[in-house]
Structure 1
Amino acid sequence: MAELTTVARPYAEAVFSLANEQQRLGAWSEALAWLAAMVQNPVVTKFVTEPKHTAQEIEALVLNVLGAEQVNAEVKNLVVTLIANGRLLLLPEIAEQFELLKAEAEGVLDALAETAFPMTDEQKTELIDTLSKKYGKTVRLDVRVTPELIGGVRVLVGDDVIDASIRGKLQDMAASLKN
């Protein structure tokens, strides 16, 4: 996974730089999402990976499926470059890296809250407010119910983990008893 990220990052940074310069972050975000979804389709993946198909055939397929409203010269250049370098199947990772760069530029931070039980809207709002104050950014919160936590909440923000779950506290207690 880390290797894919390492290979995809320069492409994502280049696209982000161009999109930011042109003030077209939204349009690029949409185009990359379409491209990523397309290459994840098993039929397209098979077509792209079969050696009998030429770069021109692969380009024609991708651009035709994408549609005229999504294709401009820059999108076409990206597709051609990825095909030429054998990196077309990296599009999902490129799109993901692009979205991270876009969110950072827009001052948005993605957070994942794992809870033992569903959160109320009031609890979500309170958690978003707390995280926004802590990180100084707008927070987009994704909530997942994880019954294994027993109770409480575990929040993942980038590389930070805030574990206020009962399971986490029990694990901390067990570790301190062993020492």
Structure 2
Amino acid sequence: MAELTTVARPYAEAVYSLAGEQQSMAVWSEALSWLAAMVKTPGVAEVITHPKHTAQEVEALLLDVLAERGNGEVKNFIGALIENGRLLLLPEIAEQFELLKAEAEGVLDAVADSAFPMTDVQKSELTDTLSRKYGKTVRLDVRVDPELIGGIRVLIGDDVIDASVRGKLHAMAASLKN
């Protein structure tokens, strides 16, 4: 997966830069989202990767589905991806683009795995605590993971805050082995 990110990042950065210059973040965000969803669809993925379809047919298909959601630059971008054989990178490019956009807006996405369902008050308190710690607005996605036994594990960017019973048991086992 790291290779996909490495290859997709320059495309996402180029698109982000272009969108910023043209003040068309919303257009690019919507277009990339639609394109990523199309490429993820098994039937469409088969069509765009099948050798019997020409680059022009694939481009026409994508532009037809995209319709008015894209501008001339989006169409040129699709052509460049097809020409370079990078069309299947669209989901990763879209994800990288959204990360760049969120970072510029001062927003961090966090995933909190909790052993038990969290109340709205607990979610709000956790969001506020993370926002203060990172100095940015935090969008929190909470999931229930009973394997944690108790507590919570938060993933935010490259940081992992593990305050789960399972994590503490693993740490204790590792220290006993040493």
TM tier, shorter chain?
over 0.9
| CA shift digits 1:133-164 (9 cap, x unpaired) | 00000000011100000111011111111111
1:122-133 to structure 2, matched below 5 A, reads: 122-133=121-132
Query: What number of residue pairs does the alignment pair up?
Result: 178
In structure 1, the partner of 2:173 is: 174
1:112 is paired with a residue whose SS is: strand
Helix, strand or coil for the counterpart of 2:52? coil
* Structure-2 separation of matches of 1:53 and 1:174: 56
Q: Say whether 1:120 aligns with 2:119.
A: yes
Match of 1:2 in 2: 2
Partners of 1:110 and 1:57 lie apart in 2 by: 37
Q: What residue in structure 1 maps to residue 79 of structure 2? A: 80
TM-score, with structure 2 as normaliser: 0.97
Q: CA deviation at 1:174?
A: 2.2
SS of structure 1 residue aligned to 2:79: helix
Runs of 4+ in 1 over 6 A off after TM superposition: none
Distance 1:123 1:24 in 2: 37
Alignment correspondent of 1:40: 40
In structure 2, runs of 5+ residues without a counterpart are none
Percent identical residues: 78
Report deviation, 1:15: 0.3
Q: Deviations over 1:68-120 (max 9, x none)?
A: x2121011000000011111111001000001100100000011100000100
Q: Which residue number in structure 2 is paired with residue 144 of structure 1? A: 143
CA contact (8 A) 2:108 2:137 kept: yes
Q: Deviations over 1:23-82 (max 9, x none)?
A: 221221111000000111112111111111111111111100111x21210110000000
SS state at 2:69 partner: coil
Paired residue secondary structure (1:99): helix
- In structure 2, what is the Cα distance between the partners aligned to 1:22 and 1:103? 18
C-alpha separation in 1, matches of 2:33 and 2:11: 14
> Structure 1: which 5+ residue stretches go unaligned?
none
Question: Which secondary structure state, in structure 1, belongs to the residue aligned with residue 152 of structure 2?
Answer: strand
Tell me if structure 1 keeps the 8 A contact 2:28–2:70.
no
Query: Residues 37-76 of structure 1: matches in 2 within 5 Å?
Result: 37-67=37-67, 69-76=68-75
Superposed CA RMSD in Å reads 0.9
The two structures have a TM-score, normalised by structure 1, of 0.96
Return the letter of the residue paired with 1:57.
Answer: E
Structure 1 distance, partners of 2:136, 2:54, is: 46
Report the Cα offset of residue 175 of structure 1: 2.3
- Per-residue deviation, 1:124: 0.4
2:30 is the counterpart of 1:17: no
